[in-house]
Structure 1
Amino acid sequence: MVRTPEELDLMRISGKLLASVFDTLDQEDLTGLSTMQINDLVDRFITNDLQARPASKGQYDYAYVLNCSVNNVVCHGKPSDSAVLRSGDIVNLDVTLEKNGFIADSSKTYVIGEVHARAHRLVRAAEGAMWSGIKQVRLGATLGDVGYAIQRFARKQGYAAVREYCGHGIGREMHEEPQVLNYGQARPGFDAPRGHGVHRRADGQ
């Protein structure tokens, strides 16, 4: 979907607010916190400090403001009082918010305390794969180019791209077209809208 300049400005506002959520989490020592405590912290910050709406809460009867995916959970893990983060864990926090009718959606993986070298390598490889896909977004590019770049980078690092989940468009609804796969072939795929980028979530990475 092609957005008007006014709509894009509103989307940028939502995106900047969401970035501030992760800035706040960056300053927190997550060691010893339950994923439910993190959920409640983010809920208060979005609602009270940002005067925005946690977009995940109530979506498809979901009761929480984020997904907390610990260690081998790929994505969409639910917050829990019993899931306490310990040194050696990695956790992906997937957060959404809505402001002025537009939704922003992103995630970030946090390394808790001292983790095994393999975990550090996985996190770095996943981030590298994400940026490889983002770098393909330009005039004339296709979603096939994006997926291929992600898959190619992951394979070079010794990993496989997750095929069961994908990225997605976003705007007034949380999940909009197009789907953005983590794999594909160069050139085939939908053409990227002229002048616009492709949004990709980093769930589980």
Structure 2
Amino acid sequence: MSVSIKTSREIELMKVAGKYLEEVHERLAEHIKPGITTWELDKIGEEMIRSLGCTPNFLNYNGFPASFCISLNDEVVHGIPSHSKVIQEGDLVKIDAGLIYKGYHSDAARTYAVGEVSPEARQLMDVTKQSFFEGIKQAKAGNHLYDISAAIGDYAESFGYGVVRDLVGHGIGTHLHEDPQIPNFRQHRRGLRLMPGMTLAIEPMINIGRADVEFMDDDWTVVTQDGTLSAHYENTILITDGEPELLTLSK
């Protein structure tokens, strides 16, 4: 495994990539309303990315046909935007996005509630987001990678939720996916030692039911096997000499 340590110049470029992606997420969230299609959201978001002088890094990645992964309800991740997918009141909408700024990638995901959702759906969203923050409490130089994994998984599982095992977080930099892989559940080993300059995409994917998932016939969309709701929350972070820095979340 080759984990890259970013130089100060690379870190500055990744900070800009992260800031721009945070801005895109904030602006795109304003368009998530009943009646809009996921295809329309994708086009609006892609225009935002390009208007910032950046490139959507998901578009054509391993053949993915859109700039954003937009997943609804029991879709966990990698939902393909479509004219036929119309957002409804009560939906959970997961938007996973990334962009390239001067050769450097950022990656972040959010889960949004459309209008009134059930208390169970709201709790799932809140716990998924908090599991990320539980994880990054361990994201400090000198700790080990799987300290993050254990903190995320233990927190989510304490609510009886299923933590997806088939998909994991990852390193990020000049490539969207770099070493190391970052599971969201407890491991038998401690993993590599964290060092300042590592940039990681931490992304809990949590199901209200069982952890099992399956891939749809489009070879991209991942759904919960039992048809229950799923939530997703992700940020690109930087390991420092102190607290981790969130490159895609400033407030």
TM over 0.5: yes
Partners of 1:195 and 1:186 in 2: CA distance:
26
CA positional deviation for 1:38? 0.3
Alignment of 1:17 onto 2:28 = no
Structure (1 or 2) with the greater helix fraction: 1
Q: Which secondary structure does the structure 2 equivalent of 1:74 belong to?
A: strand
Deviations along 1:133-181, one digit per CA (max 9) or x if unpaired, are 1111112111110110011101112212111100001111111000010
Deviations along 1:17-76, one digit per CA (max 9) or x if unpaired, are 0000011023334221110010000011111x2111011112112220010110011111
Which of 31, 34, 43 aligns to 1:31? It is: 34
Partners of 2:169 and 2:77 in 1: CA distance:
12
Question: Structure 1 residues 186, 134: closer, same or farther in 2, change over 3 A?
Answer: farther
Question: Structure 1 residues 171, 195: closer, same or farther in 2, change over 3 A?
Answer: closer
* Correspondence list, 1:82-93, <5 A: 82-93=84-95
Contact conserved, 1:55 with 1:103, CA < 8 A, in 2? Answer: yes
Which of 103, 106, 109 aligns to 1:104? It is: 106
Q: Which secondary structure does the structure 1 equivalent of 2:75 belong to?
A: coil
Task: Say what the alpha-carbon RMSD is for the aligned residues.
Answer: 1.5
Alignment of 1:190 onto 2:181 = no
CA positional deviation for 1:126? 0.5
Q: TM-score, normalised by structure 1?
A: 0.94
Paired residues in the alignment total 204
Structure (1 or 2) with the greater strand fraction: 2
Q: TM-score, normalised by structure 2?
A: 0.78
Which of 166, 169, 173 aligns to 2:168? It is: 166
Of 167-176 and 178-187, the range deviating more from structure 2: 178-187
Partners of 1:185 and 1:63 in 2: CA distance:
34
Partners of 2:93 and 2:113 in 1: CA distance:
7
* Greater RCO, 1 or 2 (C-alpha within 8 Å, sep 6+): 2
Unaligned runs of 5+ in 2: 206-230, 233-251
2:130 alignment counterpart = 128
> Residue type of the partner of 1:42?
G
Taking only the aligned residue pairs, the percentage that are identical comes to: 32
